[in-house]
């Protein structure tokens, strides 16, 4: 039996290699391996399905700096896919929470910088009104939420490459739990999108 958590859902999204890594071992910020697959219909439709019901974006500092530097440049760019533009506009307009121990204030609009444990921040967000809370590819944040069993929907895009090493999303010692597959889509170049809901 699958029961959705009352109120807002915590939805996490992460791209993984086929051998289970989310970044290269030597250059963790290099996401070049993702790009050939991130522009497929499967990946774009997957992301669209996640952000449309979300009213809050939760990010770590590194991802916030990367996302908020890149995505605004997509709006109005020649040849931009409408799904990419729609996501970029949503990201600019949505309420954002950035978890950081080093950032004093946010250089972005509609953004709160918070230096508190992830579990506490999520508890406060879930107590407020709104739609889904979407965690966008911020591994440290997602790992903390998985460890605290606070993820309601786990979305993964699996790309058919081996990175041969690097950090993994699923560490040993996570709480035991069951997940229900709610959607699966395979597409161009072997890209696979998977969405699981936590069974509570």
Cα 71 from Cα 47, distance rounded (Å): 14
Alpha helices (H) in the chain, listed in sequence order: 35-38, 41-51, 61-70, 82-93, 118-127, 139-147
CA-based end-to-end distance of the chain:
8
Q: What is the pLDDT of residue 2?
A: 40
Q: What is the pLDDT of residue 180?
A: 98
Q: How many CB atoms lie within 10 A of CB 44?
A: 19
Partners of 159 in the beta sheet?
17
Q: What is the pLDDT of residue 3?
A: 43
Handedness of CA 85, 61, 23, 185 (dihedral sign): negative
Given the candidates 3.30.470.20, 3.40.630.30, 3.40.430.10, 3.40.50.2030, the CATH classification of the domain at 10-199 is 3.40.430.10
The per-residue pLDDT string of the chain (200 residues; one tens digit each, 9 = 90 and over) reads 344 445 899 999 999 999 999 999 988 778 889 888 888 899 999 999 999 999 999 999 988 998 888 999 999 999 999 999 999 999 999 999 999 999 888 888 999 999 999 999 999 999 999 999 999 999 999 999 999 999 999 999 999 999 999 999 999 999 999 999 999 999 878 999 999 999 99
Cα 14 from Cα 53, distance rounded (Å): 17
Q: Which of 122, 113, 180 is nearest to 147 (CA)?
A: 122
């Amino acid at each position: 039996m699958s029961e959705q958590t009352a109120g807002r859902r915590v939805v996490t999204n992460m791209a993984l290699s086929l051998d289970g890594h989310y970044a290269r071992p030597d250059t963790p910020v290099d996401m070049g391996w993702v790009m050939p697959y991130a522009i497929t219909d499967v990946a774009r439709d997957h992301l669209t399905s996640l952000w449309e019901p979300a009213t809050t974006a939760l990010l770590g500092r590194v991802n916030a700096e990367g996302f908020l530097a890149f995505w605004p440049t997509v709006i109005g760019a020649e040849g931009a896919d409408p799904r990419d533009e729609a996501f970029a506009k949503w990201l600019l307009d949505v309420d954002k929470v950035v978890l950081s121990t080093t950032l004093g204030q946010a250089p972005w609009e509609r953004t709160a910088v918070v230096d508190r444990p992830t579990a506490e921040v999520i508890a406060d967000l879930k107590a407020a009104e709104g739609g889904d809370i979407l965690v966008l590819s911020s591994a440290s944040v997602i790992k903390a939420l998985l460890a605290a069993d606070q993820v309601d929907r786990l979305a993964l895009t699996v790309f058919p490459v081996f990175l041969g090493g690097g950090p993994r999303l699923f560490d040993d010692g996570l709480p035991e739990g069951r997940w229900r597959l709610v959607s699966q889509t395979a597409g161009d170049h072997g890209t696979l999108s998977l969405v699981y809901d936590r069974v509570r």
